[in-house]
Copies of this chain bind each other. A is one copy, B any other.
Amino acid sequence: MAITIKDIADKAGLSPASVSRILTNRGRFNADTAKRVRELAESMGYLKNQSAADLSQKQSRVIGVLVPSEHTNFADEIIKGMRSKAYELNYELLIAFVDVNKEQQLQTVHSLLSRKVLAIVMLAVDIEIADPVFNLLTSTGVQLLSVSNQLNNEIPSISSDNYVMMHQIVDYLYEHGHEKIALIGASNPNSIVAKLRRQGFIDALSKHGIEHHPDFIWGTENAYQTGMDAIKHFGIPLPFTAAIGSADIISVGILNGAKDAQIDVPKDLSIITIDGTEIAQITRPILSAAKQDFQLMGQLAISALDEQELAPHAVFFTETKIVPSGTVTTLDKNN
């Protein structure tokens, strides 16, 4: 049997109540006895039983985090941001991976909820209102927050402004002489982010007087293969001069697909990737990127949860910026 607060109390000739106060730094107590108690606890190897504390307080400082297990690598960066802020503000993160299996998802969410977490942060989780998981999530009234995904108005979110970001990207390509542009990997009809990107893409083009070519919006899966397949799908010569990859891994696929097809990047195809994580920087050439600030999203997530009741429709945006590297070339306008 592990050592409890009562053991310490006995040894110190105090009551459990006092020891608790001291160890949690709450209420009043004598500084000297406090010191003594703390030393005693230390030397006895005392470890608080968090379950007991949680039970007693009916509120924990645990924030649950749902991470899709197909684990797009930016998740790591968001978590990093959350970790640093959580440490600072003394929250604990309970990270749970959810995969596609519905049954397992429910079980995972159940287990978070069972731990009486004070909030649940969803990382890039696409979820529909009709989903039983969504139901479960909302049924208990835990604070929810979606990061890096704009959901419906039911859940507050922190993300890039995907619509605006597409304008940045298109503007950038346009300035470099590109007018025939493809958007790869954002065709998922159920993803709100994908929808915003498509709309931003279309509007940005039309802002420059370019009518978009519907076929140039292609590819649903957020995967390497989507990029590879894109090249095969469009064939040679490619009907566009630039491609936007809707995630780094997709863009790497585009790049390799092009390479395999003897298409020179960036001479014959410019690529700009969305995300700009580490993986975009280990390619040759290095991928020009629209970089999202994932760490900041993570930090904001924790701060936001710490500070306020979040209105269901609250939306926070972090900046995105274009980071030029080696995959976008300037087209001669006379081409």
A residues apposed to B, CB below 8 Å: 2, 45, 47-52, 54-55, 60, 69, 71, 73, 76, 79-80, 83, 87, 92-97, 99, 104, 107, 110-111, 113-116, 139-140, 224, 249, 252-253, 256, 259-260, 278-279, 282, 284
Q: CA separation between A329 and B32, bound complex, in Å?
A: 72
User: B92, A111: Cβ atoms under 8 Å?
Assistant: yes
- Rounded to whole Å, the gap between the CB of A104 and the closest CB of chain B is 6
Q: Which residue of B lies closest to A48 (CB)?
A: B114
A55 contact from B52, B140, B282, Cβ within 8 A: B52
A112 CB to closest chain B CB (Å) equals 10
User: Which residues of chain B come closer than 8 Å to A95, judged between CB atoms?
Assistant: 95-97
Residue contact B97 to A79, C-beta cutoff 8 Å: yes
B80 touches A113 (CB 8 A): no
Option from B54, B71, B92, B139 in Cβ contact (under 8 Å) with A76 = B71
Instruction: Tell me whether A47 and B113 are in contact in the complex, defined as CB-CB below 8 angstroms, given that A55-B55, A73-B73, A95-B95 are known contacts.
Output: yes
Question: Which chain B residues lie closer than 8 Å to A76 at the CB level?
Answer: 71
Contact in complex: A140, B69 (CB < 8 Å): no
A263 to B60 Cα, complex, angstroms: 57
In the complex this chain forms, how many copies of it are found?
Answer: 2
Given known pairs A259-B284, A284-B259, the reply for A116 and B83 (CB within 8 Å) is no
Pick the contact of A114 from B47, B104, B110 — CB < 8 Å?
A: B47
User: Do B55 and A49 touch (CB < 8 A)?
Assistant: yes
Distance of A79 Cα from B50 Cα, bound (Å): 25
Partner of A49, one of B87, B110, B114, B282: B114
Asked if B99 contacts A140 (CB within 8 A), the reply is no
Contact residues in B for A96 (Cβ distance below 8 Å): 93, 95
- Measured between beta carbons, the chain B residues less than 8 angstroms from A2 are 116, 140
Nearest B residue (CB) for A71: B76
Closest to A135 in B: B45
B284 touches A256 (CB 8 A): yes
The answer to whether A87 and B107 touch across the interface, beta carbons within 8 angstroms, is yes
Q: Are B87 and A104 in contact (CB under 8 A)?
A: yes
Query: For A115, what are the chain B residues with a Cβ–Cβ distance below 8 Å?
Result: 50-51
| Cα–Cα, bound, A259→B259 (Å) | 14
How far does the alpha carbon of A161 sit from the alpha carbon of B54 in the complex, in Å? Answer: 43
**Shortest CB–CB separation between residue A43 and chain B, in angstroms?**
12
Q: What 7 A-B pairs have minimum CB-CB distances, sorted nearest first?
A: A50-B114, A51-B54, A51-B51, A51-B55, A95-B95, A52-B55, A252-B282
What's the Cα separation between A284 and B306 when bound, in Å?
46
Measured CB to CB, the closest approach of chain B to A289, in angstroms, equals: 16
With known contacts A2-B140, A140-B2, A224–B99 Cβ distance under 8 A? no
CB-defined A-B contacts under 8 Å, sample of 30: A2-B116, A2-B140, A45-B139, A47-B110, A47-B113, A47-B114, A47-B140, A49-B114, A49-B116, A50-B111, A50-B116, A51-B52, A51-B55, A51-B115, A51-B116, A69-B80, A71-B76, A79-B97, A83-B97, A87-B107, A93-B96, A93-B97, A94-B94, A95-B96, A224-B278, A249-B282, A252-B282, A253-B282, A260-B284, A284-B284
Q: Which residues of B contact A97 (CB under 8 A)?
A: 79, 83, 93, 95
**Given the complex, which residues of B lie within 8 Å of A114, measured CB to CB?**
47-50
